[in-house]
Amino acid sequence: MEELTGCLKHKQDENEEDSSLKAIVAQEDPAFYSDAAAYWDSVPATVNGMLGGFAHLNLADISGSDTFLRSVFKMKNPPGHGRAVDCGAGIGRITKHLLQKHFGKVDLVEQCQNFLDRAKENFKGSKKIGEFLCQGLQHFSPRPNTYDVVWCQWVLGHLTDADLEDFFRRMAYGLKPCGVIVVKENVTSSGKVELDEEDSSVTRPERQLLDIIERAELKILKNTKQPNFPKSLYEVNILCLKPKKKSILS
Ligand SMILES: C[S@@+](CC[C@H](N)C(=O)[O-])C[C@H]1O[C@@H](n2cnc3c(N)ncnc32)[C@H](O)[C@@H]1O
């Protein structure tokens, strides 16, 4: 099977010492975003394209997310089932197999027009889909008090650390009073941030992701691992977050 770089990824060789430094330097360069956009423009608008050549893991991914989301709905003061947003939605794989089953409306935010066009075709006539927003997440600013769940999967490595912190703060503002942010992302086991020069993204160690979450004044309600993925791939954390401070709107 053709293997693309993308979300599901093989772990890097831990002896690649300068990857961590390169990852820090890369985030200072405006090309960090333009290179990623150019990379994704070259990727087929298919499930296999979204999953970096690992389409056979789609079911395991969705099943892990479904179990997680159901556990979120069982929490004390759970989010509602009204409206979710799929951040870095690609062709709408997660919306199709997961989010539209749990929410009355789902908005999609995606920077690649080609992927959004495919999503529009796939969801033609569906009453479950709200807005298709062609935008980088570094610019996405939801209206206040809008979302029950903000779903971010395999995209946050495309934001610099500083932009990720700001993104989390804006998402917190866009949540309804019991709303939550779900993050599903690869983490390194080397303890270091690793750069993927092909798709222009970083994979962070869990500690670094948690530090950014802390700086954005979010609290962690759940933090688990995606089960049943091959050991050769990066581990995937699934987190449920909510703002530490009560919104002035709630
Ligand atoms: C690995 S794919 C995952 C797509 C989808 N989340 C899924 O799991 O099926 C990464 C997606 O993030 C999008 N992306 C990359 N950088 C982005 C950015 N700065 N803002 C929004 N989306 C971005 C890509 O265009 C691509 O659709």
pLDDT tens digits along 174-207: 999 999 999 999 999 999 999 999 999 999 999 9
pLDDT of residue 6: 45
Give kind and range of the element (H or E) at residue 209. Answer: helix 206-215
Closest residue by Cα to atom 18, ligand 1, is: 136
User: What residue type is 127 in one-letter code?
Assistant: K
Binding site membership of 164 for ligand 1 (Cβ less than 6 Å): no
- Residue 131 pairs with which residues in a beta bridge? none
Using a 6 Å cutoff on CB, does residue 50 contact ligand 1? Answer: yes
Alpha-carbon distance of 157 to 241, in angstroms, equals 17
pLDDT of 2 higher than 50: no
**Regarding beta strands 235-243 and 83-87, do their DSSP bridges make them parallel or antiparallel, or are they unpaired?**
unpaired
- Residue 180 pairs with which residues in a beta bridge? 149
Quick: pLDDT tens for 114-158. Answer: 999 999 999 999 999 999 999 999 999 999 999 999 999 999 999
Q: To the nearest 10°, report the CA torsion of 29, 5, 99, 139.
A: 10
> Which position has the higher pLDDT, 3 or 218?
218
Q: How confident is the model at residue 58 (pLDDT cuts 50, 70, 90)?
A: very high
The whole-number pLDDT of residue 110 equals 98
pTM for the structure as a whole = 0.95
Is the domain spanning 19-243 CATH 3.40.50.150? The answer is: yes
Closest C-alpha to 184, from 155, 212, 205: 155
Question: Do β-strands 194-196 and 175-187 pair in parallel, antiparallel, or remain unpaired?
Answer: unpaired
Bridge-based pairing of strands 147-153 and 129-134 is: unpaired
* Among 34, 99, 107, 111, residue to substitute to test ligand 1 (most atoms within 8 Å of Cβ): 111
- pLDDT at residue 13, as a whole number: 67
The residue extents of the domains of the chain are 19-243
User: What is the residue-wise DSSP string for 44-72?
Assistant: -SSHHHHTTT-GGGHHHHHHHHHHHHHHH
Q: What is the pLDDT of residues 76-116, one digit of tens each?
A: 999 999 999 999 999 999 999 999 999 999 999 999 999 99
